[in-house]
């Protein structure tokens, strides 16, 4: 679901071929560049590069050169590096303003797909969840997002509970580290080994979902196949090569991304088990929301708790502070609590019965935030209840 925090860009189209970017936050310096030769430096994930991703995505989609310029002022209330998709919000916002200035039209789905692809210019092998919800979100409803083809289905959340976001205050910039891309590669390798084990065309396979679709089996059946096909001990690059019948050089140049070529261990069993079980939990969550049993909040909370345990133990994308914060949230009345976003820092999301909200906020504030120098961010940005917000909008001055 979209949270209520957002990213805003005020835009003035100009006749020159120059992009002028400014930010209301003094931490983010001004930047300007010509519109015709957009260079995105993957070595430094600077704020303006996320704007350039969105701009370049639209430019390349329409095959345009000689674009008019824009003066842009960026403002936002999404805490950065917190797992609440501030970077994707900036990419999507930049794509939308570029499209609007050009006077072109695209559907929300097309926009989401272009922005998901163009965010990879920054060097992260990201998926498309954040960009999809940025455009497809509707107030008052969560969305089940599915890919190939991209589509979103309404999911009505329980009325007696709220979602509370709590920031661990451990910043995680996923474009500046390789953790995130290593997981993408481990899943890619696991998919290839599973495909080979099942005599599929493994060299064409990139994602675990493709193996399931090609075999035409359920997620539960995939979890059984993993037990036969993969071993829990980590794989070395050499073992992966032996399993696939390829050379080390082929593995590094044809399969791995540039910042994962030196990785020495791949935990393929654990990553695949997490992905298939997490996908099953998503569908289970939707089913419970639709059936709305009396103990719905408790059941949804249990799924969120299982999800955090799998993120922590099987996918290993948590961190001690997130685990501590999740425990504190559960202690003070959350039915379920888990990390959200890429992990390794950022935020937790907790499902809290509405009648417990005031005491929950007060207790978590005291237990996590008032012990030590946790967060410099204002209180409201670190701990808040939220409901599903709307997606991206354009306001045109008459």
Q: What radius of gyration do the chain's Cα atoms show? A: 22
Q: Which residues contact 224 (CB under 8 A, 6 or more apart)?
A: none
Structure tokens at 262: 């030196």
Q: Which residues contact 265 (CB under 8 A, 6 or more apart)?
A: 234, 235, 236
Q: Which long-range contacts (CB under 8 A, 24 or more apart) does 306-312 make?
A: 306/277, 306/281, 307/278, 307/281, 307/338, 308/337, 308/338, 308/339, 310/273, 310/274, 310/277, 310/278, 311/274, 311/278, 311/338, 311/339, 311/343
**Is 41 part of the annotated catalytic residue set?**
no
| DSSP per-residue string spanning 14-34 | ESSSEEEEEESSTTS--EEEE
C-alpha 303/C-alpha 79 separation (Å) is 26
Segment (H or E) for 163: strand 161-167
Alpha helices in 103-207 (DSSP H): 108-118, 129-136, 179-197
Query: Look-up: residue for tokens 């200035």?
Result: 101
Query: Could you give the C-alpha distances from 336 to 70, 213, 356, in angstroms and in order?
Result: 45, 30, 13
Segment (H or E) for 164: strand 161-167
Segment (H or E) for 283: helix 268-291
Structure tokens at 144: 């089940």
C-alpha 309/C-alpha 331 separation (Å) is 16
- Compute how many other C-beta atoms are within 10 angstroms of the C-beta atom of residue 29: 11
SS3 of 187, please? Answer: helix
**Annotated catalytic residue, options 130, 262, 313, 355:** 130
Segment (H or E) for 281: helix 268-291
Catalytic residues: 130
């Amino acid at each position: 679901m979209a949270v209520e925090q957002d990213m805003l860009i005020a835009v003035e189209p100009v006749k020159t071929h120059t992009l002028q970017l400014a930010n209301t936050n003094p931490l983010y310096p001004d930047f300007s560049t010509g519109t015709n030769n957009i260079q995105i430096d993957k070595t430094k994930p600077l704020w303006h590069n996320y704007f350039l991703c969105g701009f370049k995505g639209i430019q390349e989609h329409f095959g345009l050169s000689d674009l008019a310029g824009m003066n842009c002022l960026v403002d936002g209330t999404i805490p950065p590096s917190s797992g609440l998709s501030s970077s994707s919000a900036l990419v999507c916002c930049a794509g939308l303003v570029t499209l609007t200035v050009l006077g072109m039209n695209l559907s929300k789905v097309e926009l989401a797909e272009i922005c998901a692809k163009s965010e990879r210019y920054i060097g992260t092998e990201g998926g498309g969840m954040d960009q999809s919800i940025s455009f497809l979100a509707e107030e008052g409803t969560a969305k089940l997002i599915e890919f190939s083809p991209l589509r979103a289905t309404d999911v009505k959340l329980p009325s007696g509970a709220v979602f509370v976001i709590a920031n661990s205050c451990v910043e995680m910039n996923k474009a500046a580290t390789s953790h995130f891309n290593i997981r993408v590669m481990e899943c890619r390798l696991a998919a290839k080994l599973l495909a080979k084990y099942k005599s599929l065309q493994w060299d064409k396979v990139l994602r675990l979902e493709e193996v399931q679709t090609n075999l035409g089996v359920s997620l539960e059946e995939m979890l059984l196949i993993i037990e036969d096909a993969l071993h829990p001990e980590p794989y070395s690059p050499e073992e992966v090569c032996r399993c696939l019948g390829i050379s080390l050089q082929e593995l590094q140049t044809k399969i791995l991304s540039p910042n994962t070529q030196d990785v020495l261990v791949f935990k393929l069993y654990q990553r695949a088990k997490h992905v298939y079980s997490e996908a099953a939990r998503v569908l289970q969550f939707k089913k419970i929301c639709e059936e709305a049993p009396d103990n719905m909040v408790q059941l949804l909370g249990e799924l969120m708790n299982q999800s955090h345990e799998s993120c922590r133990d099987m996918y290993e994308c948590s961190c001690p502070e997130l685990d501590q914060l999740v425990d504190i949230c559960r202690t003070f009345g959350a039915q379920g609590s888990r990390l959200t976003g890429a992990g390794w820092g950022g935020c937790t999301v907790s499902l809290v019965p509405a009648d417990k909200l005031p005491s929950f906020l007060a207790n978590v504030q005291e237990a996590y935030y008032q012990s030590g120098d946790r967060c410099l961010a204002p209180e409201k940005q670190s701990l808040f209840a939220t409901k599903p917000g709307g997606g991206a909008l354009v306001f045109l001055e008459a």
